């Protein structure tokens, strides 16, 4: 049987990935640079754990970061979609 921690991680990872994919499909203004900006803020949030988030919040943040990393890597590896210009991160 799967531990509750693994189940929560998987749930958050897949929900976040699904949300990012939906946004990419439905928001023509959403770019890799936008996703990378969110990821940078998630890294900052992860480093700001001086007070302690607790185990559940650590799992949620870890899964959210992993989903963003996976999404960005897949987006960068995929050929551009017809009609979509990619904004470059400056």
Q: How many domains does the chain have?
A: 1
What 3-state DSSP class applies to 28? coil
Residue 16 lies in a domain: no
What is the percent of the chain where pLDDT is above 70?
87
| In-domain check, residue 43 | yes
Nearest Cα to Cα of residue 37 among 15, 14, 55, 20? 20
Domain assignment present for 45: yes
The count of other CB atoms within 10 Å of the CB of residue 20 is 21
Q: How far does Cα 66 stand from its chain's mean position?
A: 6
Question: d(Cα 46, Cα 82) in Å, to the nearest integer?
Answer: 36
- Position 2 scores a pLDDT of 67
Place 1 in a pLDDT band, splitting at 50, 70 and 90: very low
52 inside domain: yes
Domain assignment of residue 12, yes or no: no
What pTM does this model have?
0.84
| Model pLDDT for residues 17-55, shown as the tens digit of each residue | 999 999 999 999 999 999 999 999 999 999 887 778 899
Q: What is the pLDDT of residue 12?
A: 98
Determine the Cα–Cα distance for residues 82 and 11; give it in Å rounded to an integer.
31
Average pLDDT, the chain: 89
| 11 lies in some domain | no
Assigned domain for 48 exists: yes
């Amino acid at each position: 049987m799967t531990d509750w921690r693994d189940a929560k991680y998987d749930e958050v990872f897949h929900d976040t990935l699904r949300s990012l994919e939906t946004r990419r499909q439905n928001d023509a203004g959403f770019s890799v640079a936008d996703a990378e900006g969110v990821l940078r803020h998630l890294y900052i949030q992860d480093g700001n754990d001086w007070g302690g988030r607790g185990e559940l919040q650590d799992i949620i943040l870890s899964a959210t970061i992993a989903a963003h990393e996976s999404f960005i890597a897949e987006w960068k590896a995929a050929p551009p979609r017809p009609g979509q210009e990619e904004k470059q991160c400056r």
